[in-house]
Amino acid sequence: MLKTTAPAFGEPYRGKVREVYELDEETLGIVVTDRISAFDHIMKQAIPYKGQILNNLAAFSFDKVDDLVNTHIIDVPHPNVTIAKKCDPVPVEVVIRACLTGHAWRVYKSGKRELCGVKLPDGMVENEHFEEPILTPATKAKEGHDEDISEKEILDRGIVDEKIWAEIREKAFKVFERGRKVASEQGLILVDTKYEFGLYNGEVTLIDEVHTADSSRYFYSDGYEERLAKGEKQKQLSKEFLREWLMDHDFQGLEGQTLPDLPDEFRWEVFDRYAELFKELTGKQFEPTSTENFVKELPLIFEAYTL
């Protein structure tokens, strides 16, 4: 498991999968670990080299959209490390969905026809495309589960300034369309995704990650229509299979449920899924980098950006 420490830079903020160090007033050193989470819980076992795949795939995807939106990327000096601008985070996750899948499908299947203030048409089936992608935000909870919220509630409660939200909304749909185009060229469908934004010197900036297996869901284009017509599961590349495995083992993050251990065989299956998406999306084979000396290397990496 990847270990990270850089005492000279203080204690990091430890997120679900990232550890964030403040290098100075404007710069962050972000270490992407091998941890994996689902249902707002961090699994007890890590996934080999997941951090490197996630970080490199995010860097690839940020590069694909940096003509559309400001991004927080300064440099990626190591497969596990991103040097980024320190932004003031907007406390809303911007979720865009092109298909009725995952959480949206579970809501729909329960009989509801509205999600985050968006009306959903009757007669849809699982994994079917919406006429147009929809925006279904969620509040970012410091503890516990994120919660669905409508755009109207965001504005009525003053969570985000109206002008800033309008820009975030516009940028998010443009980035999503670019992501769909990149995926389509590689024989994939970008089904849904989560974006996070912040403000850097007052400007809307895309932060966190973009179009990775942690933040997005992909289907293979080949055979999509046939599987949809037959009501079969789609062949997908996402973290949904981990959620499905957990549900099969009676865990959805609910009170009283026990987080199961991930067997080694399954952990390597997860690695294979992440490596497969990396190859399919970038056209390159993932090559792991040794982290044996990472604890010694990390402070030196950070120092190079604080001189």
pTM tops 0.75, yes or no: yes
- pLDDT for 3: 64
Range of lowest pLDDT (189-193, 212-216, 235-239): 235-239
- Say how far apart CA 173 and CA 17 lie, in whole Å: 26
What's the mean per-residue pLDDT of the chain?
93
- Say how far apart CA 142 and CA 209 lie, in whole Å: 18
Question: Residue 41 in contact with residue 57, Cβ under 8 Å?
Answer: no
The residues with which 119 forms a beta bridge, in sequence order, are 114
User: In this model, does residue 307 exceed pLDDT 70?
Assistant: no
User: In this model, does residue 285 exceed pLDDT 80?
Assistant: yes
pLDDT band at 126 (very low <50, low <70, confident <90, very high): very high
Range of lowest pLDDT (1-15, 85-99, 163-177): 1-15
- b/e code 228-252 from CB counts within 10 Å (16+ = b): beeeeebebbbbbebbebbeeeebe
Angle CA 45–47–50, to nearest 5: 145
- pLDDT for 123: 97
Q: Give whichever of 75-79, 102-106, 250-254 has the largest mean pLDDT.
A: 75-79
- pLDDT for 179: 98
**Range list of β-strands (E), 100-187:** 114-115, 118-119, 129-135, 138-139, 147-148
Tens digit of pLDDT for each residue in 89-105?
A: 999 999 999 999 989 99
Over residues 221-245, mean pLDDT: 92
The domains of the chain, with CATH numbers, are 7-87+267-303 (3.30.200.20), 89-242 (3.30.470.20)
Interstrand relation of 236-237 and 129-135 (parallel, antiparallel or unpaired): unpaired
